[in-house]
Amino acid sequence: MKRKNTSSIKTERATLALKVVMILLFFSGIVTFFYPFLASAVNSFHDQSVIEKFQRDYALLNENQKKERMDEIANENKKLLEDNKLTNIPGMGLIEDPFESSLENIQNVEKSYFRKHMLGAIFIPTINVSLPLYDETNDVLLDNGATLLQGTSYPIGGPSTHSVITGHSGLPDKRIFTDLNKLKKGDMFYIEILDEKLAYRIETFQTVLPTQLNSLKIIDNQDLVTLITCTPYMVNTHRLLVTGVRVPYSDNKIEKQKNGTTNYLNFRMIFLSLLFLILFVISLYKIFRIVIYYKSTKRLYELEFRVQKNKTSLAGVPYYLSKNKIDYKNGNVEGIDFRISGTDGKVNFGRKLGGRYYIYTISDRSHPLFLADIMSLKGDAFTVRVKKHRLFMDKKNSSHYSIRNGE
């Protein structure tokens, strides 16, 4: 008899340990699945904070400082026109492909580095993109937003300018330009740089090799911006060029679109964070309940309750106690103990080892199934409750049951 009890205890321990492992594996799977989405959402939320801080800091500059910065950028654009209207683009022998170059001279990059190189922001509402825009392309800046390809026009608008803005695609924790291939002709994107707000309508798409970028030259009297990223997704053998032509900036409509993008990104971060937190709490609770279950099986608790049907105490009703779910279809309705309710509706099964028990009756098919659990190790009695899913109630004649622990 002792051997049987010892074997049963070992089996129960193994079952509980397996449940804990399964919960941990489930949560690990959830973390693995949700990480790219949550990380992307958090990074997008951070991008909005960076953009807002830049806008606040720029607003604090005096007019002379703003004019000096704008004149400096405008002069850089003029120099490009003097150079035979060419841009220093990859494939023309002046700099390497932006997605294959490395930043060897910068280590332990500080926030001041990003502030120094930040120009403004780019918004693409159709694909919910809202990114900081930096003034040169390198590994560090590419990992933190969109970047202006050095040697191309600064995106401040004006005839005979052609800005090239680069962005990564396929990063595990950031979207950046991953969805650029989902854009269509006629879609809009917007650029805010210093005091300028510019709108561009997408006109052309090209997929080319990294060395075939002649279409990025400046064109007489045209105000162009080309967005560039790697393609195909995760293969990156080619470059996707999405070129937009400047159109008038309509404040009300555009601000509404930009705000919609920002709100979407913020909502996504909050929603995914809450969902992740809820799943984490549920997993912890499940493990906590398993620990309570295991510890409660070491001692005895009082199992007693009173039951009423339509506010009338049930007397003379046989109740069965079982450690397993009831299988009525196969006629398995046996229990490990049996009691009959008294005139006051009280049912007393005495002191039982902790854990979970199922309490049922076969005298009336409309009775619900009761559960007896140990909810806290501090108490001395089981908590008895009605199982929400009434396995064998007659739906046509369902009755209201009230149940409370015995006194």
Domain locations in the chain as residue ranges: 31-93+110-273, 300-405
pLDDT digit string (tens) for 259-287? 888 888 888 888 888 888 888 888 888 88
Helices and strands counted in the chain (H then E): 5, 17
Query: Mean pLDDT over all residues of the chain?
Result: 81
Q: Which residue has the higher pLDDT, 298 or 201?
A: 201
Which phi and psi angles does 390 have, rounded to 5°?
Answer: -80, 95
- How many Cα atoms occupy the beta-carbon half-sphere of 227 within 13 Å? 34
Question: Is pLDDT of 134 > 80?
Answer: yes
Average pLDDT, stretch 23-40?
76
Q: Do domains 31-93+110-273 and 300-405 have the same CATH topology?
A: no
Q: Give residue 92's pLDDT.
A: 38
Tell me which residue has tokens 């007019």.
63
pLDDT digit string (tens) for 201-237? 999 999 999 888 778 888 889 999 999 999 888 788 8
Average pLDDT, stretch 126-132?
92
pLDDT digit string (tens) for 100-112? 554 444 556 778 8
292: left (phi over 0), alpha (psi -120 to 50) or beta: alpha
Q: pLDDT-derived band of residue 366, with 50, 70 and 90 as boundaries?
A: low
Question: Is pLDDT of 255 > 50?
Answer: yes
- For the chain, give the longest Cα–Cα distance: 104
Question: Is pLDDT of 80 > 90?
Answer: no
Q: Tell me the pTM.
A: 0.69
Separation between Cα atoms, residue 228 and residue 208, nearest integer Å: 10
Question: Is pLDDT of 29 > 80?
Answer: no
Average pLDDT, stretch 3-19?
64
Question: Is pLDDT of 132 > 50?
Answer: yes
Provide the pairing of β-strand 161-166 with 146-148: antiparallel
Q: Which fold has domain 300-405?
A: Immunoglobulin-like (2.60.40)
Q: pLDDT-derived band of residue 146, with 50, 70 and 90 as boundaries?
A: very high
Which phi and psi angles does 131 have, rounded to 5°?
Answer: -130, 150
Separation between Cα atoms, residue 314 and residue 399, nearest integer Å: 13
- How many Cα atoms occupy the beta-carbon half-sphere of 63 within 13 Å? 0
Give the CATH architecture of domain 31-93+110-273: Beta Barrel (2.40)
168 is catalytic: yes
Question: Is pLDDT of 177 > 60?
Answer: yes
Q: Give residue 190's pLDDT.
A: 95
Separation between Cα atoms, residue 382 and residue 296, nearest integer Å: 10
CA nearest 269: which of 174, 166, 349, 383? 174
Q: Give residue 394's pLDDT.
A: 43
- The one catalytic residue among 230, 238, 367, 389: 230
Question: Is pLDDT of 96 > 60?
Answer: no
The answer to whether 292 and 377 have CB atoms below 8 angstroms apart is yes
117 is catalytic: no
Separation between Cα atoms, residue 189 and residue 198, nearest integer Å: 9
Q: Give residue 35's pLDDT.
A: 73
Q: Give residue 120's pLDDT.
A: 92
Separation between Cα atoms, residue 179 and residue 261, nearest integer Å: 14
- Which residues 6+ apart lie within 8 Å of 343 measured at CB? 313, 315
CA nearest 239: which of 99, 133, 122, 132? 99
* Percent of the chain topping pLDDT 70: 83
CA nearest 368: which of 344, 406, 329, 397? 397
- Which residues 6+ apart lie within 8 Å of 3 measured at CB? none
Q: Which residue has the higher pLDDT, 235 or 98?
A: 235
pLDDT digit string (tens) for 315-335? 888 888 988 777 656 656 667
- The one catalytic residue among 46, 117, 162, 168: 168
